[in-house]
Amino acid sequence: MADSQFDVYQLPEEHEAIREAVRAVCEGKVAPGAAAADESGEFPQTSYDALRAADFHAPHIPVEYGGAGADALATAIVIEEVARVCASSSLIPAVNKLGTMPLLLSASEELKRQYLTPVAAGDAMFSYCLTEREAGSDAASMKTRAERAGDHYVLNGVKCFITNAGVSEYYTVFAVTEPGVGARGISAFVVEKSDAGVSFGAPEKKLGIKGSPTREVYFDNVRIPASRMIGAPGTGFATAMRTLDHTRVTIASQAVGIAQGALDFAKGYIQERRQFGKAIAEFQGIQFMLADMGMKVEAARQLTYAAAGKSERGDADLTYFGAAAKCFASDAAMEVTTDAVQLLGGYGFTKDFPVERMMRDAKITQIYEGTNQVQRIVMARQLLRG
């Protein structure tokens, strides 16, 4: 057999180059503001400006709409590297992908050109409005309505836990257009922040990702052209689920980045911290913890990259791999960041060091874009279907 069949898997050179480039931007311009964004709860505009200048704010948008045309793996690496220093800032490229993915999957060419182009240029961000207070894991039970009125639709309802709400200019909104038929009666629309009747609630007071605003979005007789419907009537829920198959990979990437950041910091700390006359990194108990942390991060990364490849190709088993990557990586991130706090001892519990922030940020990755309990249901169903 040819030797190439036994080559160890490694990233292509161009993807490693992307990692180096985004890490340089993040170390220089994103990391310095991470603690302040967490403390103030304000959107990290400096991070956005830096990512936009380097074309990392929405790298997934195809070249034909003015984007960088990064594939799913490259986009995952960008999100991972931003999350390594600031989870809040990593939601800039992640949510831009979440908000625009329905258009990439289902929208008309006209709608794509109208809305993807300004996002690619860095003139607007895009958020995703699916969740409601009584329609979280059971998204199909949403109450937001969109009623036809001639060549327009009129939207009424409330969406909650919307990431970057109030900062984004554009929103993919899912609403019931045909009541009584469940998921088959849901359609998707593009709504603009400036549309009359759109307003926002107060920012949620959160455990983590505080630099990324999370708010309710209110739609009060919001009248929009029918041409802003994404895909055909009644296909919105299917588009939402297809979107999540792809974007769960981005949450996995975020989780990997957070975990890597915590591992990196803890590794440096235990080599400097001395007790009983030597660095605590020399103690076997500490080494065991570090080894487990490193193993979990790398396992999560490899599963995430495999899922990214399936996302790019649109493989039939993407649903399973997207759920698996998101679930495994987020669980790993929670474990690794908690261990990082433990390795720093009392200092890990203070805001003088970043690992407590990373632990708080990691928690949401187990919850949003489908709780990990839901991911396990998704995986089990896929396995049982063969």
Q: Tell me, what DSSP letter sits at residue 33?
A: G
Average pLDDT, stretch 50-75?
Answer: 98
pLDDT surpassing 60 at residue 1:
no
Question: For 41-146, where are the alpha helices, taking DSSP H only?
Answer: 45-53, 72-85, 87-106, 109-121
Say what the alpha-carbon torsion angle 207, 210, 215, 253 is, to the nearest 10 degrees: -90
In one-letter notation, the amino acid at residue 368 is Y
Domains and CATH numbers, the chain: 3-121 (1.10.540.10), 126-235 (2.40.110.10), 237-384 (1.20.140.10)
**β-strands 126-129, 170-176: how paired?**
parallel
9, 10, 303, 305 from 6: Cα distances, Å: 9, 12, 20, 19
Q: Which two tokens stand for residue 181?
A: 């038929």
Mean pLDDT, the chain, integer: 97
The confidence band for 10, taking pLDDT boundaries of 50, 70 and 90, is confident
Helix (H) / strand (E) containing 177: none
- Tens of pLDDT, residue by residue over 228-271, are 999 999 999 999 999 999 999 999 999 999 999 999 999 999 99
Output the pLDDT for position 335.
Answer: 98
- Tens of pLDDT, residue by residue over 106-164, are 999 999 999 999 999 999 999 999 999 999 999 999 999 999 999 999 999 999 999 99
- Tens of pLDDT, residue by residue over 86-101, are 999 999 999 999 999 9
- Tens of pLDDT, residue by residue over 307-364, are 999 999 999 999 999 999 999 999 999 999 999 999 999 999 999 999 999 999 999 9
**How far, in Å, CA of 192 to CA of 113, rounded?**
15
Average pLDDT, stretch 53-73?
Answer: 98
The confidence band for 3, taking pLDDT boundaries of 50, 70 and 90, is very low
| Max CA distance (Å), the chain | 79
Output the pLDDT for position 9.
Answer: 74
pLDDT surpassing 50 at residue 2:
no
pLDDT surpassing 60 at residue 7:
no
Catalytic residue among 81, 216, 356, 369: 369
Q: Which two tokens stand for residue 353?
A: 């060091």
Q: In the 3-class helix/strand/coil scheme, how is 309-334 assigned residue by residue? A: HHHHHCCCCHHHHHHHHHHHHHHHHH
Is 369 assigned a catalytic role?
A: yes
Compute the residue count for the chain.
386
* % of the chain at pLDDT higher than 70: 98
Output the pLDDT for position 4.
Answer: 46
pLDDT surpassing 60 at residue 5:
no
Output the pLDDT for position 272.
Answer: 98
Using an 8 Å Cβ cutoff, are 253 and 80 in contact?
yes
Output the pLDDT for position 258.
Answer: 99
Instruction: List residues bridging with 279 in a β-sheet.
Output: 274
Using an 8 Å Cβ cutoff, are 235 and 106 in contact?
yes
Residue 47 CB contacts under 8 Å (≥ 6 apart), including other chains? 29, 30, 33, 37, 82, 86, 88, 89, 92, 211
- Angle, alpha carbons 372-90-158 (nearest 5°): 65
Strand, helix or coil for residue 192: strand
Output the pLDDT for position 8.
Answer: 54
